[in-house]
Amino acid sequence: MIDLHCHSLFSDGTLTPLQLIERALVAKIKFLALTDHDTTAGLNELHNKALGHDLKIINGIELSAQFKKHDIHIIGLRIDPQNEQLCDFIAKQSERRKQRAIQIGVCLENLGVSDAYAKACEIAGHERIARPHFAKVLINAGIVCDMKTAFKRFLARGKPAYVPTIWPSVEDVVGTILSAGGDAIIAHPLKLALTRLKLFALINAFQAAGGIGIEVVSGEMLGQEIRQVADICKRFNLLASSGSDFHSDASRVGLGMQRELPDDCIPIWQEW
Ligand code: AMP
Ligand code: MN
Ligand code: MN
Ligand code: MN
């Protein structure tokens, strides 16, 4: 098995790197990429805990970007986490996240949820706050019953606690991944809420910037959706990636448990 997309408690996941390794060994994963949102903070610990096991750790990151006012995610694989340009970029992303989180806190305060930002920081245990941390604040306050409802009622685009963020462009994000020696991949293309035409425009911009891959298989995708992205992957001569987008043991798809990559796509890990 291969899993090139997952999260730890260094971003909005709930498991430690050690717990991820335990899950990866059970699933017999051969290549595991940790792709926390806008951070590489968990990579060192993941490498340490993988020592002595027959499991190759791939240095990854999931970077937030913007394309025509849409929030999109681009994954960097085989990046050098020490790369200076990448480190500077991450520092700026963290600041954007922090400012956004403070503003989400203000929105929630106005809706009657007190100290939401402080509570989100406490839940996260760090300052790289993502919306799922606020979703947990809302769940703990008894305002919503689950994560999905928290997004639907408060945190998703257009909802009362949604705060638009000016994420960097596709060119900036892909350029940074390349300068850190990595491969850039469009994450979960069907989750980006783009029309087919806009997705094609994104792919064109992404390839022009040097991006080479697309996630053909992601977490909860159904067979027909995978087929649809596989055809797009072939049409644009992209390499195919595959990952669970696992965040916790409550995730519907376990680590390495996503569906198989169609065999007419070229896997990005083919020559690793
Ligand atoms: P952020 O990076 O702060 O914008 O948060 C994005 C994260 O929120 C994603 O990586 C998912 O983990 C989670 N997320 C986004 N939309 C939803 C949703 N509708 N339901 C549950 N989780 C979501
Ligand atoms: Mn996430
Ligand atoms: Mn994502
Ligand atoms: Mn993800």
Q: Distance from the CA of 16 to the center of ligand 4, in angstroms?
A: 16
Ligand with smallest separation from the Cα of 190 = 3
* The predicted structure's pLDDT at residue 112: 94
From CA 243, how far away is CA 216, in angstroms rounded? Answer: 9
* pLDDT tens figures, 199-243: 999 999 999 999 999 999 999 999 999 999 999 999 999 999 999
Q: Distance from the CA of 146 to the center of ligand 3, in angstroms?
A: 19
User: pTM of the predicted model, to two decimals?
Assistant: 0.98
| Among 7, 93, 126, 131, residue to substitute to test ligand 1 (most atoms within 8 Å of Cβ) | 131
The tokens describing 64, both together, are 């937030």
Report the pLDDT averaged over residues 239-251: 98
* The predicted structure's pLDDT at residue 204: 98
Atom of ligand 1 nearest to the CA of 191: 16
* pLDDT tens figures, 140-198: 999 999 999 999 999 999 999 999 999 999 999 999 999 999 999 999 999 999 999 99
Ligand with smallest separation from the Cα of 3 = 4
Which spans in the chain are helix H? 17-26, 43-50, 84-110, 116-124, 131-140, 147-150, 170-179, 196-208, 223-235
* pLDDT tens figures, 80-102: 999 999 999 999 999 999 999 99
Report the pLDDT averaged over residues 54-78: 98
* The predicted structure's pLDDT at residue 13: 98
Phi, psi angles (nearest 5°) of residue 12: -105, 15
* pLDDT tens figures, 101-155: 999 999 999 999 999 999 999 999 999 999 999 999 999 999 999 999 999 999 9
* The predicted structure's pLDDT at residue 36: 98
37 lines ligand 1 (CB under 6 A): yes
Phi, psi angles (nearest 5°) of residue 154: -125, -45
**Of 176, 168, 175, 183, which is closest to residue 60 (Cα–Cα)?**
183
131 lines ligand 1 (CB under 6 A): yes
* The predicted structure's pLDDT at residue 9: 98
From CA 27, how far away is CA 23, in angstroms rounded? Answer: 6
Residue with tokens 């040097």: 210
Name the residue with the closest Cα to ligand 1, atom 14.
Answer: 132
12 lines ligand 1 (CB under 6 A): yes
The tokens describing 268, both together, are 């990005």
Query: Residue 223: which region, alpha, beta or left (left: phi > 0; alpha: psi -120 to 50)?
Result: alpha
Q: Is the sign of the CA dihedral 130, 134, 139, 143 positive or negative?
A: negative
* The predicted structure's pLDDT at residue 3: 98
Q: Distance from the CA of 271 to the center of ligand 1, in angstroms?
A: 32
Burial of 111 (0-12, 13-18, 19+ CB in 10 A): middle
From CA 151, how far away is CA 159, in angstroms rounded? Answer: 8
Q: Distance from the CA of 99 to the center of ligand 1, in angstroms?
A: 17
Q: Distance from the CA of 36 to the center of ligand 4, in angstroms?
A: 7
